[in-house]
Each structure stands twice: as C-alpha cells, then as structure tokens.
Structure 1
C-alpha cells in the first residue's frame, strides 16, 4: 500500500519526473516537459506520470496527462490517477486563474519554512555531506517527496540546473537521484546541460551520486562529458544527444525562412547587462530591422519576475515594426511558432537559440558570463556554423553585433539545410536514448554497464 492509502497494482508503472523549474515560468523548460510527457505517455499509456511542481493547477493547464507531485505539501502521489486527456487545455485562458490559486495556497508554507530553522546533519564520514540536509523523505523529516518511495523510475528531464548558478536545485536533484540509486530505483538524466560546476561541496555531492545513475544523456559534448569523467561516471553511461526541446522546434518548423528578426535579452544576476550595452543593442537591432524592412519579434522565454519582458521590450520601443509579445501563459509550442517567422534570432536566452536552430534559423547569441558562454558554445558545437556568440563587453559591442547579424541574415538560406539535418539527427539520438530507458525500466535491457554506447537510432522522422 502506498502513502496515499491506495494499494498500487502489482504491474503499475509510476514514473517520477524532475523538471528543474517547479513554478513553470520558463518556456524552454516547458518545451522539454511537453516533449518528455508525450514520449512517456506514448511508451507507457497506462502509467502514472508524476511531475514535481510548486504549481499543480498550472501544471494541469499545460500538461493534463500528468499528476502533480506537490513538493511543498509532502510530495505524495494523488489519491486518484486522473483520467488521461488526449488534448491540451488552453493555458492562455486558464493559466492566470491557476497561477493565482497556486501562489495563494503556497504562501502559508513559504512563511512557515522561513520561520523554521534549517536541520542539518553532522558529517561523520568525511564525505562532505555536512553542508546539506540528509536526503530523506518528507515523512521522515527530510526534503524529498514521499512519491519517490513508490516510483518505478526517476527521470530528471533536461535543463541547465546542475550548476553553481542554481545551487539549491542542484542539491535537490542530486538528493532525489541519490535516494533512487541507493534504493534500487532506476534513475536517469536526459537532455542535461551540466556545469559550470566548481563548488567543492557540489562536486563532492555529484561524485557521490552521478556515477550510480543508470544513464546520463547530455545536450552538448564540449564540457559535460569531461566533467562527468572527472566525477567518476563510467563512459558507457554517458551519451550526447542534444537538447530534447529540439524535437518541439523541429516539429513546428516552417516550410520557408521568415523575414523578421527575433530578439530576447536576459538580464539577471547570472547574466548582467549594463545600461550602456542595452542602448547599443537597441540601436543595432532597430537599425538592422529598418534597413531590411523586417519586424522585430520579442521572444520571451523566462517569465520569472518578468525578467525577459522587462529587459527585451524596451529594446524594441520606437521601432517602426514590432510584433506583439505572446502572453505570460502562452505555450512553448506557440513561442516556437513565433520564432519560426524569423530569418535571424538575436538572443541572450539559450532556449530561443534551440527553437531557432531546430527550425533552420541562424542565431546570434549574447553573453556576459561563463555560464552563457558554455551554453551557447555547446549548442554551436551541436549545430555547426549556425550560431555566432557575441560577448556584450568592450567598446565595440554595437559594431560587432551588427556584423554578426548581417552575416547570419546573408547566410541564412545557405545554412538552413545543414541546421535542419543537425536537428533531425539530435531528435533521433534523443529518441533512441529514451527507448533505452524504457527497455531498462521494463527489464528488457540490462542495467549493468556494457562498455558499449547506447544503440544507434532505428526510428524515422
């Protein structure tokens, strides 16, 4: 009998999904969730798929086929598995109501946690565990969701959250995977962008956990494989597939290149951009759009504190032709289609670049940090010549940005076929890894290392 008081069927499959962004504020994470849920429900039509979240109502709006595992309320499986729905609701209409309800119901828990002292374990092993809470289930006084104990498999879906920049989420994910591996539950990471990771405590934690995970699929091959090797992860448990969100972009790709310029600026603690740089960026994109009779299209990825809106929309103010931004609760699929109207995308947000490249559209990436240097360089290595990285520092930012956008505008028709080929290859590689995961969970593929990489793709697009 599970902790909800219901005895699960002996053959019932329960997949617990770690999605890395519990408030559902990021269109990149929503795209990965969209692709992952479709794959899970296609492979296991009768399975219960639980997604860890702080926003159960909003999750139901975006993904009605899954069950919210409410992290803040103990993280139990719901008492009843919802009837599987075949379509999506309209989050643009229902999102505001669900989001307000989720925020209101979460508030008392937030206040209570701030008033409670943190409980830390004492490190008696020398393994470096003293600086984090003991990984235990919520019912045992820990932070891990109770649903973990009854999970058939744990899958941490793609994202860039295993990094120094997001320490809390890194610790939470590693504790989740650590519990699974020590309790015999198959555990997987897919579509991951790991690093930069230099904090000694996080490195020790990762070295404790990641070598025991069944399979790790990476979205890039420049940094991740070497980091995992140094952490002691066996090479035959690591494969580079590309970002799982590539499949969503590739699926909605237009037949022809558009004629607009997509723009997104990310300004955050981990991506600082000063006023002088913003002024130079605005001047560059507005003059380029005017010269080419192109509209500027705002592409909002992160709705966390409206950070992308607050940084991007002022850049477009006063432009002769500007598309309206999508609403706060627009789906990732809608944003992908918005990207598809562009000939070039200029972005400081990683997943806009994923959406563009996977539709055959070249990208100018903007960075002010090692974190984003790694993100964009890793993505460029997966797609070839379709991405230029421009650092937003120095005295000649406007000129460098103009030259880069002009080159990509000119090269866009030539690059399109090779970018789409690269996207198709990544989709097949990602699906092949997912098929391997299904085989492991179903007992058809050995969980033991084989010294061979996963089988090559056999499916067709």
Structure 2
C-alpha cells in the first residue's frame, strides 16, 4: 500500500501541480481577475495542498491578487517559483501597494533583462527555431512537472488576439504530447478565421480533454468544425458569473452603470461616443439617477479614456475605482446599478449575474458574438445596440428606457439563469478534477 496522506478526493493533493494559462499576463483586466479568483478558489478547495502555478508577467502582483497561486513567468525555461516567506509579503501588502512597485520595476528592468537573456542564450548556444508563421514558441519548463494544464476562461481564442491564441495552443499541445491532462474552461471561442490560427487550432484542440465554453450560440459549432468531438464540449457560461452571483444584494440599484471601450477590436467613432454620453446623461437626469463609471480593463487606460468623458459634467457621478482595485471591488460598484450600458463584456457578466439588465454596445463581429452569446445565456437580459447604424440616439434611448422599466421583473429570472450557470460550471470542473484523480499514479497503486 502506498504510504501517503490522502485527502477527501482519495489522492495526496500535495503531489498535484496545476499550471494555469490565465490569458492576461499583466493582470490589468478585472474580468480576467474575476475568473482567476474563481478558478484558484475552486482548485484550492478541491486540492488544499496543490501547487497552482499561474503564467504571468507580474509575479508580485499575482501574489497580491491571488495569494493561493504562485507565479510562473512566461518564457522558455521558466520553472515553478521558489517558495519562501518573502513571497507572502505581496499578499499582506495587497495590490494597491504592490501594483505601482511592480509596474515601476518592470518598466526599469525590462530592456536589461531582454539583453541579458539574449546574451545567455547566445553563450549557451541556445537558438530558438521559428515555426511556419515566424513565431518562436516559448514553452515554460514548468509544464513538464504539471499534473494538469488548465486554460482559464477568457476570450482569447479568436482572430482578435492571435498571439495569445497561438501561445495557449502551444502550451496545450506540449502538455498533450507529454500525456498531461488538459482542459479549457469558460472559453469564448471565435470569431476564428485566420488561416494559420485555424490550422493550429484544428491540430491542437481535438487533443484537449475537455473544453467548456461560455455560450452556446457559436462556440460549440465552431469547435466541432475544428474537429473537437461533442463529448469533449460543454456549455457552462462564464466562470466569473459565480463571483458576481455570490456578491448579489437584495435591494435593486438606483443608478445607471456605464462602460465604453475604444480599441483596435472595438472601434467606436467620436460621434458615436458623444451620442452614448448624451443619452446616458439625459436619461439619468430624467429619472434622478446617478452615473457609475465602471472600469474593467486598465490596459493603456483604455476603459478610463473612453468612459470618463461620458459622465463628464453630470452632477451625480459615483466615485471611480483606483488603478489596482480588485474584481470584487468592481462587482460591488455594479451592484449600485438598476441598468448597465456597456461596450465591454465582463462588466455585463457582473451585472447579469446579479440580476441587472444590460444594454450592450457593439461595432464589430467580435462583440456581436460576445454580447450575443450573453444574450443567449441570459434570455431577455441583454438588448444589443449597433453603434454604427443610423438613428443611434433614438435606438439607444429606447433601449435604456425599456431596460430601466423592465429591471424589477427581470431580476429574479436573470439570477436563476446565473445560478444554473454556476452549477453547470462546477459540474464541468468535476470533470476536470477527474482528469487528475483518475490518472493519479499513487491512487492507482493504492487501488
């Protein structure tokens, strides 16, 4: 009989190592931070002694946001982090203190570090070979010691983010070739049309043991077209739903939340931005509501630069979150709202999970799919408004008015949908756990 201390799962959780692909290595997006919160908490509950490695460019900030996780720097040769009492300091200090220091250190040391790496590789005779697309895959050595490689939820398996899509596929392919269990949870799949990316996905995704998608409108069909068997696909909703649902409050909000993102994948004209601001300010004034600016992404301050002009000059504007506020802080701000007007996806998830209806703003196929998928998961809870079509002011005003009036009646139904998605997501994680527990060699010896 094997000599080890088993937990309630029948395995020694101290032998488990989960390498987590988190999709957003700088930790600047509160939607991704919410998924990280849920993912790490679930894995820690299942395997209390496990090592949970998260790929990141900001190791100290990761420790501050997720003390139960440990950073694995994304680069060739990177191994599991060293442990020691000093690694607990960021967790005690918190992201508000750690964040500015982390950003400053990275800015100051990035160029010297790149130069030192090139010199080291040259001296070692280490030359990375590009693939057919010209990329140089950088697979961390940590994958070789993993019990499971888990691609955390996100919307990165798409044409919009080919770099992240390819590096996730590289990691999953390496793990599969090493016969390490693999899973993808809470995924937003597509649009995906690029030749190299489609070929790469068609080669790798059928090898992944389980793919849980956050919507059922396009994702499952796209995965099947890439060769993934239906038995490995499950629709769960977004894993971040659990965080917001758990933080729901009984009183209905009295304000209007607003978030607008202007980026390369979400091109919003200055004229459309002006109309959105005019409509939300005008409607809020007509119903005596405050405006709540809601910032999801801090990447190059994209949400701040696009959202703050919408509330400028309005007499009642709620306080705005700081640069290193957590996902839970944002969820709490969303709870103030009776209606949300947004061009960003995850703040809509936070609203719907609490029973708050959403007016979704879109200018692209990417956001049509994201917000349309949410509409399918929360029937009646999302009204999509195309910013590029004529008559925007009238259409947007009508949508906000409709959702404001319908909010009390929609509340319980939206929360019921959220509860069902939490259950579906947790069932998918049970299948993920089984990938490790059924393959665990110590358990096999014990039996």
Q: Could you state the TM-score of these two structures normalised by the residue count of structure 1? A: 0.87
Matching residue within 99, 122, 130 for 2:132: 130
Q: Secondary structure of 2:82's match?
A: coil
| Cα pair 1:56 1:102 within 8 Å, conserved | no
Q: Secondary structure of 2:78's match?
A: coil
Matching residue within 321, 333, 341 for 2:336: 341
Q: Structure 1 residues 107, 333: closer, same or farther in 2, change over 3 A? A: farther
> 1:50-449 maps to which residues of 2 (within 5 A)?
50-72=53-75, 74-80=77-83, 90-110=94-114, 120-121=129-130, 130-133=132-135, 135=137, 143-443=138-438
- Offset at residue 436 of structure 1 (A): 1.4
Aligned equivalents of 2:342, 2:177: Cα separation in 1? 41
- Offset at residue 73 of structure 1 (A): 7.3
| Cα pair 2:29 2:299 within 8 Å, conserved | yes
- Offset at residue 102 of structure 1 (A): 3.5
| Cα pair 2:13 2:50 within 8 Å, conserved | no
| Cα pair 1:191 1:217 within 8 Å, conserved | yes
> Per-residue displacement from partner, 1:244-295 (whole Å, max 9, x unpaired)?
0000110111112100000000000110111111111111000001001111
Aligned equivalents of 1:172, 1:47: Cα separation in 2? 25
1:14 matches 2:33: no
Aligned equivalents of 1:392, 1:108: Cα separation in 2? 44
| Cα pair 1:54 1:72 within 8 Å, conserved | no
- 2:4 is matched with none
- Structure with the bigger percentage of helix: 2
| Cα pair 1:62 1:88 within 8 Å, conserved | no
Q: Structure 1 residues 320, 110: closer, same or farther in 2, change over 3 A? A: farther
| Cα pair 1:48 1:81 within 8 Å, conserved | no
| Aligned residue pairs, count | 423
Structure 2: 5+ residue stretches without partners: 1-11, 441-447
| Cα pair 1:344 1:362 within 8 Å, conserved | yes
| Cα pair 2:17 2:147 within 8 Å, conserved | yes
Aligned equivalents of 1:306, 1:73: Cα separation in 2? 29
- Offset at residue 398 of structure 1 (A): 1.2
Q: Structure 1 residues 357, 113: closer, same or farther in 2, change over 3 A? A: farther
The root-mean-square deviation of aligned C-alpha atoms, in Å, is 2.4
- 1:458 is matched with none
- Offset at residue 394 of structure 1 (A): 2.5
Structure 1: 5+ residue stretches without partners: 1-8, 122-128, 136-142, 446-461
Deviates more, 1:393-402 or 1:97-106: 97-106
| Cα pair 1:299 1:335 within 8 Å, conserved | yes
| Cα pair 1:357 1:423 within 8 Å, conserved | yes
- Offset at residue 81 of structure 1 (A): 6.7
Q: Could you state the TM-score of these two structures normalised by the residue count of structure 2? A: 0.90
| Cα pair 1:120 1:130 within 8 Å, conserved | no
